[in-house]
Amino acid sequence: MNKQKIEFFAWPNDKGITRIDAGLIRHTRLEEFYDDNDTEKIDSNWQAQLAAGNFRNLPMGSLWNTRQENSRIVASYLPTEYKVYNAVAFPHNSNNPPSYRLRSLMRISSVGGVIFTSDDKILMQKRAEGVTAAGLIDSVVAGFCVSNDKNKLDFDCAIKEKLKREAVIDQKEVSSLEQRSLFSSIGYDFSGMIGYLVKTTLSSQEIALRANKKYIGSIYALKKNEIFDFIARHYIKEQDMTGDGCAVLLSCLEQSEFEDVVEEIKSRGAKIQFGQLSEGKFIPN
């Protein structure tokens, strides 16, 4: 059974999600909720990571509150930094990680997208060696959403940048860019991710040929009716798919298909919940 847990705050429905409005909280930071030893552990972990490789500390957000207003989802993120996420997700000393409290609150600002091609295929990927989650199956483009120079989180800009950098798709080759979900994958990803469905004028073969091999190891081109079997095999049985990848792939389905597949994989052991977030605490529906 996959030990990752997926929490959905917005998901496909027949009424449609017109917009996920996400922003940074101005008056509070995630650091205010650290336990006594967390700062020391985060700094120690960061120094060890800097000594081991080339890392940059970037301003980001951690999902804190969500609420639904008709078909609009309002999400607020607490300001934080990459080095805090790094200490939670990749502790240098696994025997002395940050506090359970901090790990339970971490839902880092991020984006993930599946690509729907001109030949009616849905693309996923196996991550390249040498990157985060190397060798695991994930959404074909994914990554952090960093605060911009105006101290704002621009998720649409982040997914467009990932499309260009990783899949080598220009904006003129994107026919639509749709926000499909807002979720958190706990246990590995520690995400507060917006999931996108990206429709392109390119074929699956064209994308496979041009994809940046630094990030994308190999591409899976799926028919829509193959999604359940793909998730059942890789997320449930072989457990070589990230929670983020599973959630983004589920999100490309229409409501009835989404509900059917979720119920079936839950019956096979997947941990998937639906609700809202209040000051970092998940409130199930």
- pLDDT, tens digit (0-9, with 9 covering 90-100), for 181-239: 999 998 778 999 999 999 999 999 999 999 999 999 999 999 999 999 999 999 999 99
Q: Cα angle vertex 67, ends 8, 63, to 5°?
A: 60
pLDDT digits 0-9 by tens, 56-101: 899 999 999 999 887 789 999 999 999 999 999 988 888 889 999 9
pLDDT of residue 132: 83
pLDDT of residue 18: 60
pLDDT of residue 95: 84
- Region 145-168 average pLDDT: 94
- Residue recorded with tokens 């392109």: 200
- Kindly report the average pLDDT of the chain as a whole number: 93
Strand partners, 115: 123, 198
Name which of 33, 107, 34, 114 is nearest 75 in CA terms.
Answer: 107
Q: Cα angle vertex 43, ends 38, 46, to 5°?
A: 125
Strand partners, 184: 7
pLDDT of residue 141: 96
CA–CA dist 50, 36 (Å, integer): 23
Under the phi-then-psi rule, with left for phi > 0, alpha for psi from -120 to 50, and beta for the rest, what region is 262?
A: alpha
**Which residues, including other chains, have CB under 8 Å from residue 176's CB and lie 6 or more apart?**
197, 198, 199
Percent residues over pLDDT 70 in the chain: 97
pLDDT of residue 187: 75
The pLDDT confidence band at residue 131, using thresholds 50, 70 and 90, is confident
Checking if the pLDDT of 2 tops 80, the result is: no
pLDDT of residue 127: 93
**Which residues, including other chains, have CB under 8 Å from residue 79's CB and lie 6 or more apart?**
24, 25, 29, 30, 59, 60, 61, 147
User: Which token pair is 153?
Assistant: 């989180």
pLDDT of residue 212: 96
pLDDT of residue 93: 82
pTM of the full structure: 0.95
Strand partners, 242: none
